[in-house]
């Protein structure tokens, strides 16, 4: 080997050794300021969560127009990777041209609600007034309910006068629309979060604002992606004003009747106080329809007397709220409210099994369904529900609003595993729906029924969460109704 050849090889080896540390660095560290659109696409298409996370971390604070476009265009590949929070954190660092590109993406994705949700969630944590303008636009005009709800909630955390000034006229507009109860609840919650006030009518909000605008100091939280946690953690992030309403509940407002189910487990998890009684004791109690909710656990072999049935009918007809599970359908509801609901049959005998559940189209936007299923359409998936053998099943009747569907049991003549109905004492007692409810001088009572048992639904991310949220919404609706009484 010549001296010249040896020198050349030594030089090449030295160069390789110098480059080795760079080659061994992770993608995010290697790229630094130089992460480009190609790096994003390569990582996102790899399906490797670690690589995706590295790229997103490396992009934070360094986004430009091209990388924002790349992130948005390929984000659909990430829906199953569990990196949503990192996506939002990174996109919320967009500024200048990068922010312009992010906001444009909302308008470009007219047919893709999941991407619009992602963009809007990111915009919610950006202080730039242009981001708030997008939130107002989405809250007012977006065609998808989850996106409108998200926009309203994010406006409720903006800490700006402009957010209040946008929400009040939106509430007044919604009050004139049919089937807008859910959005009205959301706007009222956002305004309460911003102001600390407990007002529920648009005109009253307008009058309050006229007197307080000049010295207004927002009380809302910064827009942040709700972290995983229990139901109360999520309520604290997404619906803080309503969580405060729960903390003001007094003892005796929740009356639990013992039985085979354990709705008490859910109440304890929600940190709610309740009074527990036996079935015969309820028949003799002096109930308060204005303020109380009665919760009937599945009765097993026990039944109410005729006097007990009439006591329950009277309680609901005068405005009381009644929750019940499983066999209470045939043993109590069908007897007390034959005008509204009917028992169909028992499900086949057998072991408890997991079945998939989804919102009924006609009940999906009911106030009781708020957050029962994930609001986030970017990561949404069906939940499982534990259904026991011999569970009671209900007929679909005009007087009820079906809430939760289980396609797995369609061979039983129904897919309904949860329903609700409003009931008034008018004309001797009858169910009421839709616009007819608003015309009543006295708010009607409400019934919520679910198939199977609370004690079985224990998955904090699935069935247990869905059922707890359904019950929590029911309790909050009673609190809202009590304001109309008083």
- Which DSSP string corresponds to 368-387? GGTTTS-S-TTT--PEEEEE
Shared domain for 295 and 172, answered yes or no, is: no
Range of the domain at 241: 235-485
Q: Same domain for 32 and 171? A: yes
Whether residues 245 and 109 share a domain: the answer is no
Count the Cβ atoms, other than its own, within 10 Å of residue 193: 25
Residues 193 and 310 in one domain: no
Rounded to an integer, what distance in angstroms lies between the CA atom of residue 336 and that of residue 328? 11
In a domain, 151, yes or no: yes
> CB–CB of 87/105 below 8 Å?
no
Q: Is residue 188 part of a domain?
A: yes
Q: Are the C-beta atoms of 122 and 102 separated by less than 8 Å?
A: yes
Q: Are residues 284 and 199 in the same domain?
A: no
CB 123 within 8 A of CB 131: yes
DSSP assignment letter at 76? G
User: Would you state the structure tokens that stand for residue 451, as one six-digit string?
Assistant: 């198939």
* pLDDT confidence of residue 385: 73
CATH code of the domain containing 467: 3.40.50.880
- Measured CA to CA in angstroms, residue 162 lies from 129, 147, 155, 205, 209 at distances of 9, 20, 9, 14, 12
Q: Are residues 253 and 114 in the same domain?
A: no
Q: Residue 119: which of 150, 141, 96 has the closest Cα?
A: 150
pTM of the predicted model as reported, rounded to 2 decimal places: 0.78
Number of structural domains the chain divides into: 2
261 and 205 assigned to the same domain: no
If asked whether residues 239 and 208 sit together in one domain, one would say no
Q: Is residue 217 part of a domain?
A: no
pLDDT along the chain (486 residues), means of 10: 49 45 42 72 91 93 94 89 92 96 94 93 96 97 94 94 97 91 92 90 95 82 48 76 75 86 81 90 92 89 91 95 92 95 88 82 89 75 72 91 92 93 87 74 90 60 67 89 68
C-alpha–C-alpha distance, residues 4 and 320, integer Å = 98
Q: Coil, strand or helix: which one is 208?
A: helix
In Å, how far are 22, 78, 86, 232, 250 from 49, measured between CA atoms?
22, 8, 11, 29, 47
Determine, yes or no, domain membership for 6.
no
Residues 228, 83: Cα–Cα separation, whole Å: 13
Residue 89 burial (CB < 10 Å; 0-12/13-18/19+)?
A: middle
Alpha-carbon distance of 86 to 12, in angstroms, equals 41
User: Based on the domain organization, do 171 and 258 belong to the same domain?
Assistant: no
Q: Please report the pLDDT score of residue 271 as a whole number.
A: 81
415 part of a folded domain: yes
pLDDT of res. 371: 86
| Residue whose pair of structure tokens reads 């648009």 in the numeric block | 202
Domain identity same for 99 and 138 = yes
Same structural domain for residues 183 and 249?
no
* 346 within 8 A of 354, measured Cβ to Cβ: no
Beta strands 343-346 and 254-257 are: unpaired
Query: Under a CB-based contact definition with an 8 Å cutoff, are residues 383 and 466 in contact?
Result: yes
Question: Which of these three, 212, 227, 252, is where a domain ends?
Answer: 212
Q: Per the domain annotation, does 9 fall within a domain?
A: no
| Residue 227 belongs to some domain of the structure | no
Are the CB atoms for 402 and 396 separated by under 8 Å?
Answer: yes
Say how many C-beta atoms besides its own lie within 10 A of residue 475's C-beta. 21
CATH code, domain carrying 159: 1.25.10.20
* Tokens 């007044």 found at: 172
Note whether residue 228 is domain-resident.
Answer: no
pLDDT of residue 218: 76
Q: Does one domain contain both 111 and 191?
A: yes
Give the DSSP H/E element, type plus range, for residue 422: strand 416-424
């Amino acid at each position: 080997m010549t001296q010249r050849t040896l020198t050349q090889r030594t030089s090449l080896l030295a160069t390789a050794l110098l480059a080795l540390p760079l080659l061994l660095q992770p993608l995010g560290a290697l790229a630094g300021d130089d992460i480009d659109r190609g790096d994003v696409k390569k990582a996102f298409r790899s399906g490797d969560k670690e690589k995706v996370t590295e790229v997103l971390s490396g992009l934070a604070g360094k986004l430009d127009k091209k990388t924002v476009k790349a992130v948005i265009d390929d984000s659909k590949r990430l829906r199953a990777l569990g990196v949503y929070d990192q996506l939002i954190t990174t996109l919320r660092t967009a500024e200048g041209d990068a922010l312009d590109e992010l906001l444009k993406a909302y308008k470009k994705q007219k047919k893709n609600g999941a991407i619009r949700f992602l963009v809007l969630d990111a915009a919610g944590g950006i202080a730039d007034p242009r981001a708030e303008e997008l939130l107002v636009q989405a809250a007012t005009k977006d065609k998808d309910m989850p996106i409108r709800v998200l926009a309203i909630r994010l406006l409720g955390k903006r800490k700006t006068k402009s957010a209040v000034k946008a929400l009040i006229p939106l509430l007044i507009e919604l009050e004139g629309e049919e089937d807008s109860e859910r959005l009205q609840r959301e706007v009222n919650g956002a305004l309460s979060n911003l102001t600390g006030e407990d007002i529920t009518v648009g005109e009253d909000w307008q009058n309050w604002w006229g007197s307080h605008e000049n010295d207004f100091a927002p009380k809302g939280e910064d827009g942040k992606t709700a972290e995983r946690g229990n139901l109360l953690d999520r309520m604290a992030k997404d619906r803080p004003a309503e969580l405060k309403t729960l903390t003001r509940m007094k003892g005796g407002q929740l009356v639990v009747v013992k039985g085979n189910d354990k709705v008490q487990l859910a109440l304890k998890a929600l940190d709610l106080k309740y009074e527990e009684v036996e079935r015969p004791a309820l028949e003799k109690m002096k109930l308060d329809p204005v303020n109380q909710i009665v919760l009937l656990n599945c009765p097993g072999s026990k039944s109410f007397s005729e006097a007990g049935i009439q006591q329950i009918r009277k309680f609901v007809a005068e405005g009381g709220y009644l929750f019940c599970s499983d066999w209470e359908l045939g043993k109590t509801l069908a007897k007390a409210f034959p005008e509204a609901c009917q028992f169909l049959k028992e499900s086949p005998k057998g072991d408890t099994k997991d079945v998939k559940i989804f919102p009924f189209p006609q009940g999906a936007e009911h106030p009781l369904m708020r957050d029962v299923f994930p609001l986030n359409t970017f990561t949404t998936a069906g939940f499982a529900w534990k259904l026991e053998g011999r569970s009671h099943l209900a007929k679909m009747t005009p007087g009820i609003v079906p809430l939760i569907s289980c396609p797995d049991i369609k061979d039983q003549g129904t897919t309904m595993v949860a329903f609700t109905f409003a009931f008034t004492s008018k004309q001797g007692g009858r169910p009421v729906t839709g616009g007819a409810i608003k015309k009543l001088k006295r708010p009607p009572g409400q019934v919520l029924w679910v198939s199977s048992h609370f004690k079985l639904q224990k998955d904090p991310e699935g069935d247990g969460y869905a059922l707890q949220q359904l019950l929590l919404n029911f309790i909050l609706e009673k609190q809202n109704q009590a304001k109309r009484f008083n």
